Amino acid sequence: MREVLCGFLFINLFIIKEDFIMYDIAIIGAGIAGSYVARELSRYQLNVVLLDGENDVANQITKANSAIVHAGFDAVPHKLKGRFNAPGNIMYEKVCRDLCVPFRRTGSLVVAHTEHEMYTLQELYKRGLENGVPNMRILFEDEVHEMEENLAPDICGALYAGTAGLVSPYELGVRVAENAIDNGVELKLNHLVTNIAKKDDGTFKIETTAEDVEARFVVNAAGVYADDIYNMIGDPYFKLLARRGVYFIFDKEIGDLVHNVIFPCPTKVGKGILVSPTVHGNLLIGPDAMPVEKGDINTTRDRLDYIKENALKNCPALGQYFNKIIRSYAGTRNTPVADTYTTTDGDFIIEESPVKNFVNFAGYESPGLTSAPAAAYYCVEDIILPMLEREGVTPAINESFNPKARPHLIFNELSDEDKKKAIEADPRYGKIICRCESITEAEIVDVIHRNAGATTVNGVKKRCRPGAGRCQGGFCSPRVVEILARELGCDMEDIMYDAKDTSYILNGKTKNNQ
């Protein structure tokens, strides 16, 4: 009997040993920064895990921002922001084409109301030249109003940048993560990091709310919480301030009120309240920049009024369309606090930390979205790979790496003939679920069953837009809940709007359980 028990224990210890995974690299944070680093690392034969405490990828800063692909004239030269903005901008067309993400170049105007502001535009122009920004020019009063007839009559000039553009940031974040997983990265959601320890052998033990994860190297891309994550393993040397920005989205009916991204003349506080089309045809105004506690994304009457008041200064025509607002929302930015400790000066923090083999990708505020392709490439090629080689790890190229995502068919953009073919191939393309955006059942099913697929109502919305239209999900949300439950094989009561365990939509049946 003892021999049998000993054999049983040995077998079970062997199984536990076999199930243990020591990852080469653990990335904390599945926003645009962490997901992009994961995608770049998937070009190599490395065992990479992407961790996030949320119920979905791209669910915090990446989900709620201005969605602008900046030209690069505002970023200070010789800092990482200036170094990566313009190159990142150039990379967008290929990245978005490969990942089937909507992107278009609209151009931007920084407008001036006074001679003093015209002087500021000249300084921005010079800075843009230093950063390598193409297709810029200073416009005077007549040229500005010929280009944008709905701008304030007292605007006397503008800096035009033709390479500025628009993207859907949450769709991009999702597709970047999806492509990384397609190429071998492992994703672990609902893994909120609670502690990090460095073991005697130099590897890292990452404790999360779900399980412990061990890795030889760590990349900290935890957004506004990146300083908290680093402080779990090392002495503080940078601090991040959360700043909340509030936005309004207008109905597509007035999406062409302006054609370029309209910026006010910037100040030391920030870029100011912009008025901009969106890549999906709506109109957006915002954001402000209020210091808040981390995680605070509340909208308040005073700040919403502030957005309206300041947007009107550059586009007074907006005043007659405030009844066309379909949604207000807020997002946060993670701003490095200058000179808090020793190294940060308001720039991106992309470096191996004082803790060996631990990389910080932090302080990633505007122009972080624009810079992401170039910054992630730099992080991998100039920091992570040399760090690995120093430790005796020289990864081979992943010969099967595919930069392209599986195409996602957008039914409403097809010709009548192609719509007919799509319905013949899959009748679910003939079932419109979201009337505002003309989203079909087949499109929703597709985004559920991809890598990093949707599991929540908001997750579906981020990927293919049911609920993003005029009624904001008033008609389609119940059908989305039904489809999610069916496709995920769970009860409708288990489907959440967004965050795990805090946003249930249904709490039981009514009418005699029918």
- The Cα–Cα gap between 469 and 465 comes to 8
Residue among 44, 47, 48 at smallest CA distance from 398: 44
Task: Specify the 3-state DSSP secondary structure of 95.
Answer: helix
- The Cα–Cα gap between 342 and 234 comes to 14
- The Cα–Cα gap between 72 and 84 comes to 9
Range list of β-strands (E), 221-324: 240-250, 261-263, 274-277, 283-286, 290-292
Residue type at 182 in one-letter notation: D
70 is a catalytic site residue: yes
Identified catalytic residue from 70, 78, 280, 449: 70
The answer to whether 318 and 312 are in contact (CB under 8 A) is: yes
Encode 443-472 in three state secondary structure.
Answer: HHHHHHCCCCCCCCHHHHHHHHCCCCCCCC
Residue among 376, 313, 40 at smallest CA distance from 152: 313
The answer to whether 229 and 310 are in contact (CB under 8 A) is: no
- The Cα–Cα gap between 488 and 470 comes to 28
Range list of β-strands (E), 251-307: 261-263, 274-277, 283-286, 290-292
The answer to whether 222 and 358 are in contact (CB under 8 A) is: no
Residues annotated as catalytic are 70
